[in-house]
Amino acid sequence: MSPLVKVDDLAKTFDVSAPWLNRVLERKPRQFVHAVDGVSFSIHKGKTLALVGESGCGKSTVARLLVGLYEPTRGAVFFDGQDTGILKSSAANLRSLRRRMQMIFQDPYASLNPRWKVLDIIAEPLREHGLFSDDAGMRAKVGELLRSVGLASADMEKFPHQFSGGQRQRISIARALATQPEFLVCDEPTSALDVSVQAQVLNIMKDLQRQQSLTYLFISHNLAVVRHVSDQVGVMYLGRLVELADKIELFARPRHPYTRMLLDAIPDIHMSGSSRTPVQGEVPNPLNPPAGCAFHPRCPHADARCSAERPAMIEVQRVRVACHAVEEGRI
Amino acid sequence: MSAPLLEVRHLRVEFPTRRGTLLALDDINFEIAPGEVLGVVGESGAGKSLTGAAIIGLLEPPGRIAGGEIRLAGQRIDNLPYEQMRAIRGRRIGAIFQDPLTSLNPLYTIGRQLTETILTHLPVSAEEARARAIRLLQETGIPAAKQRLEQYPHQFSGGMRQRVVIALALAAEPELIVADEPTTALDVSIQAQIISLLKRLCKEHGAAVMLVTHDMGVIAETCDRVAVMYAGRIGEIGPVHEVIHHPAHPYTAGLMGSIPAMDDTRERLLQIDGAMPRLNAIPAGCAFNPRCPKVMDRCRRERPELIGAGRTRAACWLHAQESFK
């Protein structure tokens, strides 16, 4: 079966140069951030791929590239076998593409218009795509969507401020589901929520996935959450994918030293009293990433080759990993 | 057990508003022994940060302490005049806040901020203060401490800034550190570094810690005891291991079950339906009763106090019945 979403060598570079006048007067050079640099993966229908990494690793940029909020600098995104870059040239194709993929954002306080009723918020995508012409049908559909995320139909007459954070996030999920998309991009959907509310939202997302065989790209920095929701996990570091594997495989046998470090760094509630030796150092400045493997300054297994040559993705027992030490069998 | 370092008794914090007085903290009781690490955990709005703010005397007006008392080594500190409290804050109680960028002054060098704190609280000369500042920075694992003293906060990364804040909190050798979400703004790899640093330094300096956080994983790794807060009250308090593995309060049990753990294989997480009540709509009886799976008649009428339940203490009528039988 061919994957629903396929990403091939995706890259995005942002120009963060000083203004023209400063460049001329102060002789400052042009500067670029390689936010995403050669990322490839694919997601099958009904599955969840999670991208994890620390802030600034480019995971949110990947999300935005996928739904078309950014134009890729290089590479392509294939949706249902078609190159979205080519589809975008025709407005009608773009419209139907947008109907099939939707996004859920991190902060439910910022992603809902405070002056709109819930009815208008959820009906907006329906109106935009011309899916309903009569008012009664629209209201019935909105009511149904609200019930599917565990809210009441009567809630459509309320405004966002009348809901708690978890309820607002459910409204954003209802809005994302309005056009019956096949693919949902979720950018840290539970990071702004408390744990008990996070559990509600994660349960709803899993239920909906089972009922409607939705496909998710799930962005998160919380490995325990990722382990709970995903089928496949991609670990990103400074704009590159360093490891991509099946969830069970990745958590049982992490290959890349960075993945090992991340797994070692999460405090777990069942390890009370245990002390770990945290990995030293911090994420380098993305403006000036280290040469070779970007992780080499913090890596306990780094050698001369790691600081000179950028490791390519290799496949070891169905796990894709970019690491010289793994390739050479040193770890 | 030795005499407690910090005693909080029947603490009550109110916020007068135009639509009546909101009771933000209600009858909070706990103590911290010298050198002990007490975790305070709860969801947003449970009152955990307010408890910390009340202890260091930094409640934002119009919030005020409306009852109860706070004692530091036997001395009452909740009713001290501003100037006297200022002498205690920093000297005997250090504070670490969530965002290291806002707790440092961007216009002063790190060195100036550290030596100023040391000179304010300790009878030392300027050179001694500087030497001490360098030593503190070295202890917190900041490389090239001497050069870093001359730098400004913006020249430090987030993790490094939080190290400076920890150095500042420890500068006057306080007996107690109130740390309010010290690692929430940091990435996981940095968080692990900061937590182990905080744990080690407080042990070396013999400081007790009140660690306020919403992250149960951090609590599990760091604390000796933990207090679980819900709607302005303590729902359960006891040794960390007991509270996590044998929670006595249904809210604690629900909270633990809702956290995805690294070794669990559940298809669905345990969920507590509903949300924490707002301060102006706290239900009668036990505040948790509308969401509680084990609710009884009595829970809707009478408010439970902290009752001994196994090796922890929980504010729940389930345990009153047990001891009654």
In a domain, A30, yes or no: yes
DSSP string across A248-265: HHHHHS--SHHHHHHHHH
Looking at residue A93, its pLDDT comes to 85
* Strand (E) or helix (H) holding A34: strand A32-43
Looking at residue A9, its pLDDT comes to 93
Q: What is the mean pLDDT of chain A?
A: 89
pLDDT at A202 over 80: yes
Contact: B273, A200; criterion CB under 8 Å? yes
Q: CB under 8 Å to B142, separation ≥6 — which residues?
A: B148, B160, B163, B164, B167
- Nearest-CA residue of chain A relative to B194? A278
At A178, is the pLDDT very low, low, confident or very high (cuts 50, 70, 90)?
very high
Q: Does A211 touch chain B (CB under 8 A)?
A: no
Looking at residue A273, its pLDDT comes to 46
Contacts of B312 in chain A (CB under 8 A): none
Looking at residue A275, its pLDDT comes to 53
Looking at residue B325, its pLDDT comes to 44
In a domain, A276, yes or no: no
In a domain, A246, yes or no: yes
Residues in chain A, overall count:
331
Could you tell me which residue, B262 or A105, shows the higher pLDDT? A105
Predicted complex ipTM exceeds 0.90: no
Question: How many domains are contained in chain A?
Answer: 1
Contacts of B256 in chain A (CB under 8 A): 269
For residue A65, the domain's CATH number is 3.40.50.300
In a domain, A290, yes or no: no
In a domain, A49, yes or no: yes
Sign, CA dihedral A207-A208-A209-A213, equals: positive
Q: Does A136 touch chain B (CB under 8 A)?
A: no
Q: Does B160 touch chain A (CB under 8 A)?
A: yes
Looking at residue B101, its pLDDT comes to 78
Q: How many CB atoms lie within 10 A of CB B161?
A: 21
In a domain, A299, yes or no: no
Contact: B187, A54; criterion CB under 8 Å? yes
Q: Does A198 touch chain B (CB under 8 A)?
A: yes
Looking at residue B315, its pLDDT comes to 93
- Nearest-CA residue of chain A relative to B267? A228
Looking at residue A272, its pLDDT comes to 47
Looking at residue A270, its pLDDT comes to 66
Long-range contacts of A94-100, Cβ-Cβ distance < 8 Å, separation of 24 or more: A94/A68, A95/A129, A97/A68, A98/A68, A98/A129, A99/A125, A99/A129, A99/A179, A99/A180, A99/A181, A100/A179, A100/A181, A100/A182, A100/A183
Order across the sheet with B93-96: list the strands. Answer: B93-96, B176-180, B208-213, B37-41, B225-230, B233-239, B312-314, B307-309
Q: What is the pLDDT of residues A260-276, one digit of tens each?
A: 988 888 776 665 445 56
The tokens for B16 are: 């007068």
CA distance A224 to chain B (A): 5
**Given the structure tokens 């149904």, which residue do they identify?**
A144
Contacts of B190 in chain A (CB under 8 A): 282
Q: Mean pLDDT per 10-residue run, chain B (325 residues)?
A: 86 91 92 94 89 91 92 92 90 88 90 93 93 92 89 89 92 93 84 88 91 90 93 94 92 90 80 84 91 92 90 91 53
Contact: B273, A268; criterion CB under 8 Å? no
Q: What is the pLDDT of residues A123-135, one digit of tens each?
A: 999 998 888 878 8
Angle at B53 between CA B47 and CA B55, to 5 degrees: 105
Looking at residue B322, its pLDDT comes to 57
**Three-state SS string across chain B, please?**
CCCCCEEEEEEEEEEEECCEEEEEEEEEEEEECCCCEEEEECCCCCCHHHHHHHHCCCCCCCCEEEEEEEEECCEECCCCCHHHHHHHECCCEEEECCCHHHHCCCCCCHHHHHHHHHHHHCCCCHHHHHHHHHHHHHHCCCCCHHHHCCCCHHHCCHHHHHHHHHHHHHCCCCCEEEEECCCCCCCHHHHHHHHHHHHHHHHHHCCEEEEEECCHHHHHHHCCEEEEEECCEEEEEEEHHHHHHCCCCHHHHHHHHHCCCCCCCCCCCCCCCCCCCCHHHCCCCCCCHHHCCCCCHHHHHCCCCCEEECCEEECCHHHHHHHHC
Q: Please compute the mean of the pLDDT values over residues A290-304 and round it to a whole number.
A: 91
Count of CA atoms in the C-beta half-sphere (13 A) of A207: 14
Contacts of A280 in chain B (CB under 8 A): 193
Contacts of A271 in chain B (CB under 8 A): 220-221
Q: What is the pLDDT of residues A72-85, one digit of tens each?
A: 999 999 999 888 88
Give the structural domain span for A195. 5-262
Q: Please compute the mean of the pLDDT values over residues A16-28 and round it to a whole number.
A: 88
Q: CB under 8 Å to A6, separation ≥6 — which residues?
A: A41, A42, A43, A77, A78
In a domain, A278, yes or no: no
Q: Supply the pTM of this predicted model.
A: 0.85
In a domain, A306, yes or no: no
Query: Distance (Å, rounded) from C-alpha B311 to C-alpha B236?
Result: 11
